[in-house]
Structure 1
Amino acid sequence: MSIVGTKGVDISYANGNIDLSKVKKAGYNWVMIRCGYGSDITKQDDSRFESNVKKAEALGMPWGVYLYSYATNKSEALSEVKHIKRLLKGKKPTLPIALDVEDKSYYVSHGCYNKSAITEIVKTFIDGIKKAGYYPMLYTGLYWLDNYIDKSVYNSIDMWIAQWSAKCQYKGNNLGMWQYGGETNYIESNNITGVGTIDKNYIYKDYPTIIKNGGYNGWSKKSNSTVQPKTITEQQLRQKVCNAMNGWLGAIEGDSKHAEILKIYNSQKPLPVGYKMKVNDAWCAATVSAAWLKVGIASYTGTECGCGRFIDVAKSKGIWVESDSYKPKIGDAIIYYWNDSGNGECTSGADHIGIVTEVNGNSFVVTEGNTGNGSKGVVGKRTMRVNSKYIRGFIAPDYATIAKKVAGIITPDKNTITNKIPNTSSTVIPTVTYKVRVNGRWLPEVTNLTDFAGIAKTQITDVAIKVSKGSVKYRVHIKGGNWLPYVTGYNIYDDNNGYAGNHKAIDAIEVYYSTPRDLVGKTGYLKAKYRVSPFGGNYYGWQYDNEKTNGQDGYAGAIGKVIDKFQIVLSK
């Protein structure tokens, strides 16, 4: 069974004696395991690596490894390759072998924080891993790709992008995995019951098949390993959906066909909104979902058991069409609202849903579950016309693109996670962008928690912060001095209201976020969640806005101790 479109986790010694059975039960089907860090030194092996591998294999979970890189030159990069080879001896992972490149402070302190040096390190690792017969991957963030790794190098392998956001913004077709959340998660909970906070990921390629067929990672190459994609046209894919729906025609609530529909829908892990369908539930939306699930395209269309939420899912995927005049194609879904007045576009309400299975000019036939006038719903047909009354809108998946993805010609959708997406695109928590000045120069911008602003053991003197929606006010405290006035702007050339600071060392920062009224009803009131680290030390605890409860000081920092790193994100 392909793992494309499924979710997994990445783990290390930091997760302790993790119970992977609880991870799997929660719907996370594969795992990337930290094997260690840096050069080939035994004491730098991850203390939980061997036990984590045994747990994954006992549960039948596909697994791969990652090594946290500290290489500062070509020689050390080769030693990191040896480190991996030693730990993988006698093992046959079915997921890639990844190099984790993210430690800016270490590179800065060792004089190799530049594009040329880091590109050489990454290329040396890639070449070494390939030569050893393993399937390589690079784990990093967009900031690193934009500034410190040459495109020709990272385009030569699959990418595992770290971006804690509602959408993955990496556009390359070599996207293999997306780490969409960790301590902060905009899509779902940041933890798993019985396990705790954990990094969560989405996968875009069927690595077990690719790796086994290709003879990577210790597997014997199959003679027919050059697998030709099973091509399917857009029209064929649309027809498959129609065939699935029409195959249930005549189904009556409680019979075997109805039971099949519910079984397919309830087989999803996790279930949309966590709800398992029951025999006496309204089942029109579940029928549409089951058809897309049966054909294997649900990760592109979304699934739901409620019509209103189905609209939200479609909007978030960019496939919602709110127009009575839209001429549907077979395979599209139509949503009805029975209280539609028929005057103008219907822009609210949702009562029923079905799949368009025939189109004849401006007339079209819809196959629907839970329809009919009897005491029990059936799967039946309804004829509609373009611009008819009761049309709420259409879900119009991009079947042409999906057909290519299903055939393996291009990689799956980078922007959504199966069944785990925000209710609408408008509910995405706003982004925080910020930068700091050290040694008289402004460092590159950082977004949310993709990195930190600053350089270890280098004092911060000025800070600039902005948000994509809403407003923020902030101020800084000068070591040996006082709090400076609040500022609200973001302009490094405006020393009045564009940034906080006066070119002197900062020891504390205070930030307050104001949630706009139109966002409050969707996300609730949000707060600035931020932290700093003292010069050369570990981070202090998180501070929320200017709160002084639960041990908070109203600001991040400690008066009298200069800071060298800063992170901020918005949180509920």
Structure 2
Amino acid sequence: MTSANQVLTEARKYLGIRVGSAGHHNIVDVYNAHKPLAQNYRVRYTDNWCDTFVSFVMIKLGATALTDTECGVQRHVALFSNHGIWIEDGTITPKPGDIIVYNWDDTTQPNDGFADHIGFVEKVNGGIITTIEGNKGVPGTVARRQISVGNGVIRGYARPRYAGASASATVENAGGISASAAKLTVDGYWGPQLTIALQRLYGTTVDGIVSSQYNWHNAGLTGGWEFVGKPVGSLLIAAIQRSLGVKADGKLGPATIKAMQRKAGTPVDGKINAQSLLVMYMQKCANAGKRPF
């Protein structure tokens, strides 16, 4: 499986390549040779190629399953959302290997306009993000950029599920696994280990993270929840919603929780409180190796 370091090492190989050069033509040609082509569109040498470069790096590493391929940034954001890796928040401090997305038409946060540029986060130091981007500047070049954390032009980030990026095996909060029984503790708290068990049961990516959720301040949700201002949802929650027959937007809101509670036969209030009976039901199901919904 591909690591963030491998992606950055590959991206660095092409620093200095300019539009119109043999290196630029190679980037476009490799992208066009990969099938299926996004939108069935062959990139031209005269096209903007920032996202073509991002896709090219993933193609070279055989890692397109992490991000899919695209040559249009706004369309790529939709694909990132489908993978459950999109973070609709330009104010966060990113991690090396994250994919940074810009909207130049807005200079304030929150920035939710049309995405028009993209690159890789190489490092973050002292509040400054260093990136590697294709088609940067004039003439378009594979080059580094430095930009402050939270700059208004940052639309958000994709965080591919690289090798070594899974949730910590150390459980320091409720919702953990009983070491003696190798089972989930039935304590009514939804933490990373319950998420891992559910991800395995529903066949989604197993990383212990429920990504891109609005914070409804449910006390029964502990570690492994990614709360953002403008959520796009989680593959796990979407899978649960499909099983329940409700709208599968990937977001755990009151309506979805009520549907879960009705299915579980617990009180229906649209909340996951501390020591939640709903979560206890889910933990018992997971320990029995069956889907709760």
TM (norm. structure 1) is: 0.30
Note closer, same or farther for the CA distance 1:284–1:318 as it changes in structure 2 (3 Å cut): same
Partner of 1:398: 161
Q: CA deviation at 1:302?
A: 1.6
Aligned equivalent of 1:331: 97
2:61, 2:55 → 1: CA distance?
A: 10
Matches within 5 A, 1:346-361: 346-361=111-126
> CA contact under 8 A between 1:331 and 1:356: conserved in structure 2?
yes
Does 2:127 align with 1:362?
yes
2:54 pairs with 1:291: no
After superposition, the C-alpha distances for 1:415-436 in whole angstroms (9 at most, x for unaligned) are 59xxxxxxx889xxx99xxxxx
- Residue 276 of structure 1 aligns with an amino acid whose one-letter code is R
**AA of the residue aligned to 1:345:** P
Tell me what 1:271 maps to.
37
The structure with the largest strand share of the pair is 1
Query: Counterpart amino acid of 1:257?
Result: G
Larger radius of gyration: 1
Q: Secondary structure at the match of 2:74?
A: helix
Q: Distance in 2 between matches of 1:331 and 1:263?
A: 24
Residue 246 of structure 2, aligned match among 457, 465, 468: 468
CA shift in 2, pair 1:263/1:414, >3 Å: farther
How many residues align? The count is 184
Alignment of 1:442-461 (within 5 A): none
SS at match of 1:393: strand
Change (3 A) 1:281 1:399: same
Q: 1:399 to 1:381 in 2, by over 3 A?
A: same
Conserved? CA contact 2:107–2:151, under 8 Å: no
1:273 is paired with a residue whose SS is helix
Q: Distance in 1 between matches of 2:233 and 2:41?
A: 22
Q: Distance in 2 between matches of 1:469 and 1:348?
A: 25
CA distance in 2, matches of 1:309, 1:262: 18
Q: Among the aligned pairs, what percent are the same residue?
A: 35
Q: Aligned partner of 2:163: which letter?
A: A
Q: CA deviation at 1:401?
A: 5.6
CA distance in structure 1 between the aligned counterparts of 2:46 and 2:203, rounded to whole angstroms: 36
Of 273, 280, 285, which aligns to 2:46? Answer: 280
Q: Structure 2 unaligned runs (5+)?
A: 167-199, 206-231, 249-293
Alpha-carbon displacement from aligned partner over 1:249-301 (angstroms, at most 9, x marks no partner): 11111212112211221122111111111111110001001111112211112
CA deviation vs aligned residue, 1:480-525 (integer Å, no higher than 9, x gap):
xxxxxxxxxxxxxxxxxxxxxxxxxxxxxxxxxxxxxxxxxxxxxx
Counting only pairs closer than 5 Å after superposition, residues 151-550 of structure 1 correspond to structure 2 as 237-342=3-108, 344-374=109-139, 377-400=140-163, 468-469=246-247
Q: Assess, with a 3 A threshold, how the Cα gap between structure 1 residues 289 and 414 changes in structure 2: closer, same or farther.
A: farther
Task: Give the residue type in structure 2 aligned to 1:468.
Answer: V
8 Å contact 1:300–1:402 — kept in the other structure?
Answer: no
Structure number with higher relative contact order (C-alpha < 8 Å, ≥ 6 residues apart): 2
Q: CA deviation at 1:383?
A: 0.1
1: CA distance, partners of 2:32 / 2:165: 23
Change in 2 beyond 3 A, CA 1:388/1:319: same
Conserved? CA contact 1:261–1:287, under 8 Å: yes
Match of residue 152 from structure 1: none
Query: Contact 2:15 / 2:143 at 8 angstroms: preserved in 1?
Result: yes
Output aligned runs, 1:74-93, within 5 Å.
none
- 1:352 and 1:330 map into 2 onto residues whose CA distance is 18
Q: C-alpha separation between the residues in 2 aligned to 1:349 and 1:278?
A: 22
Structure with a larger share of its residues in helix: 2
Whole-Å Cα distance in 1 between the matches of residues 44 and 204 of structure 2? 31
Contact 2:10 2:57 (8 Å CA) reproduced: yes
CA contact (8 A) 1:357 1:366 kept: yes
Contact 2:105 2:113 in 1 (8 A): no
Q: What are the residue-to-residue correspondences of 1:27-176 with 2, within 5 Å? A: none
Structure 1: 5+ residue stretches without partners: 1-231, 404-410, 417-423, 432-446, 448-465, 471-572
Is the 8 Å Cα contact of residues 120 and 133 (structure 2) preserved in structure 1? yes
Change (3 A) 1:293 1:393: same
In 2, Cα distance between equivalents of 1:300 and 1:414: 16
Offset, 1:402:
7.3
State the SS of the aligned residue for 1:400: coil
CA offset at residue 468 of structure 1? 3.3
Runs of at least 4 residues off by over 2 Å: 400-403, 413-416, 466-470
> TM-score, with normalisation over the residues of structure 2?
0.56
Tell me how far apart the structure 1 counterparts of residues 57 and 133 of structure 2 sit (CA, whole Å). Answer: 11
State whether residues 301 and 397 of structure 1, in contact with CA within 8 Å, keep that contact through their aligned partners in structure 2: yes
| Other structure's SS at 1:399 match | coil
Aligned with 2:123: secondary structure?
A: strand
CA distance in 2: counterparts of 1:400 and 1:326, whole angstroms:
22
Distance 1:277 1:415 in 2: 32
RMSD: 3.2
* Paired AA for residue 296 in structure 1: G
For residues 242 and 336 of structure 1, the distance between their equivalents in structure 2, rounded to whole angstroms, comes to: 19
The one-letter code matched in structure 2 to 1:379 is V
Deviation string, structure 1 residues 105-140 (Cα, Å, up to 9, x no partner): xxxxxxxxxxxxxxxxxxxxxxxxxxxxxxxxxxxx
Cα displacement (A) at 1:356: 1.0
Letter in 2 for 1:246: R
